[in-house]
Amino acid sequence: MQSTTSRFGGSAFRNLNLRRYWLDNVRRSWLQTIWLLILLLVTIWFAIGQLQEHFASTIIIFVVWAASVIWTAVSDVRRSHRPMTLWLKTNLYGSLSNVVLSLLLALILAFIIIGFFDWAVVRASFSTNPTVSKIQLERKSVDGKEGAAWGAVIDNFRNLMVFRWPTDQDWRLFAILLWNVILLIPSLYVFRKEVFRRSRIRRVLTTLWILTPFVVFFLLRGFKSDGLFGFLAGPIPYLNPDIAWGGLLLTLIIAVFAIVASFPLGLLLALGRRSKITGIPAWLTYGALGLIALYFFVTRSIPALAEAQTTGAQLIALWPLLLLLIAYLFQRYYQGNVVALASTVYIEVIRGVPLITVLFMSIILFPILLPPGTEILSTWRVMVAAALFAAAYLAENVRGGLQSLNKGQYEAADAVGLNTYKKYRLIVLPQALRAVIPAIVGQFISLFKDTTLVAIVGLIELLGVANLISAQPDWLGVRRAPYVFIAVIYFVGSALMAWYSRRLERRMGVGER
């Protein structure tokens, strides 16, 4: 009969030093000891509470956790890890604190999943009849806790998707969907193959993708009978975006427009901020602003100084002298480069205010600046405001990519005789954009979620519809189910963009050395 020592690998357990393990994981410092004690007490307290509410699931989690800990510990002592035990040791059980923390997190995760499943499925009602739904929820309620009223979502599904879009014009939405699918299927193949890089079919697909935003716009908006294409008003009549667009449709329109429009504008702002073009000469800057300062000093400051009664009023009256300071700073930091100054001021001003401020300015202040009789729809103003806001943040992401390139790339492009346009299009921008793909996609994801703010300025997008559901007489006060539904939509949209970002990074070798 084989001995126990031999069966476990000879002298493998001689490497187990419990005293050393105790010192490393518990007694290394008093902060570590206190942290471990607090973590252990919190885990025990939470486990006891879970045992009272969900006995079976808690026991299963504890058994699985204990078995995996023992399996990992034995493999570590024997120094014969399998892939699973090696992963467990590296990611979950690297220390005693991590062992306890893993159990606590497993219990918390189980608590969340079980609680959500209980609310969303077990105690939920799927009836679209408000009276039946209320009866079902009351019958299934436990300790006064009702489940999800999914009937409110099902009953208002069309409102959540398109809100007030006319039913007889649904064919436009299906036409847009079909157009994109028809283009997407061959594009997935053609744009991935090197053999099609200079082919006619790739140029045709590229042209169609460029035309897609215009096709989508005219299908969504339609044509006016007195417009240039009035003959199309019959089959594709005009729809007022402020009225017809809403729900998820409006959310996607604003997000896609802001993403598409902000990208080229952000590129221009980033290049403008780093531009080294010849600026206004110092003599012209000081001369022009000096004359302007002198004019205002004579016409404004001197009379104001004569009427000033306090020191503060006297200082304010000397404001024309600030023009000389501006001239000095302009030449000192920008060497007279108006493009760099304008780009920097725009970026810093927009990044210095929240998006909701820009949206309010577009809705409330912008109409004041328009000529009398001129009116721009609120939808257009919000779309432009979102694009201008996103462009400022995108410009800083692109500028970070430009700064990551060493001077050798610019010098190499100059050495082969490329002009400025080709240097940036072929050499600089491809490398700079590749380096900041995660940051750019992260900005797009944030922009997609920030579209919820347009509900504050009167447009009824996805969140606005969810708020209206809770105000309906049939579904008065029903909020959780619609909010969870739109949260899933935003999560799926963000996850898709993040997935494509990772896919694009792998294809372009981002992060590889």
Tens of pLDDT, residues 196-218: 888 899 999 999 999 999 999 99
pLDDT at position 250 is 96
Q: Is 26 helix (H, G, I), strand (E, B) or coil?
A: coil
Mean pLDDT of all residues belonging to the chain: 88
- Is residue 9 predicted with pLDDT exceeding 50? no
pLDDT at position 163 is 94
pLDDT at position 306 is 86
Distance CA 196, CA 183 (A): 16
- Is residue 253 predicted with pLDDT exceeding 80? yes
Mean local confidence (pLDDT), 242-265 = 95
pLDDT digits (tens, 9 = 90+) for 19-75: 666 655 666 677 778 888 898 899 999 999 888 888 888 999 999 999 998 898 888
- Is residue 101 predicted with pLDDT exceeding 50? yes
Band (pLDDT 50/70/90 cuts) for residue 18 is low
- Is residue 312 predicted with pLDDT exceeding 50? yes
pLDDT at position 273 is 92
Distance CA 248, CA 458 (A): 15
pTM of the model: 0.84
Mean local confidence (pLDDT), 124-147 = 89
Structure tokens at 154: 């099902």
pLDDT at position 4 is 40
pLDDT at position 508 is 76
Please give the distance of CA 92 from its chain centroid, rounded to a whole number. Answer: 30
pLDDT at position 69 is 87
Q: Which of 99, 157, 183, 394 is nearest to 269 (CA)?
A: 394
- Is residue 133 predicted with pLDDT exceeding 70? yes
Alpha helices by DSSP H, listed for 222-281, are: 241-244, 247-273
Q: Which of 400, 363, 402, 405 is nearest to 385 (CA)?
A: 363
DSSP annotation of 371 reads: P
Band (pLDDT 50/70/90 cuts) for residue 513 is very low
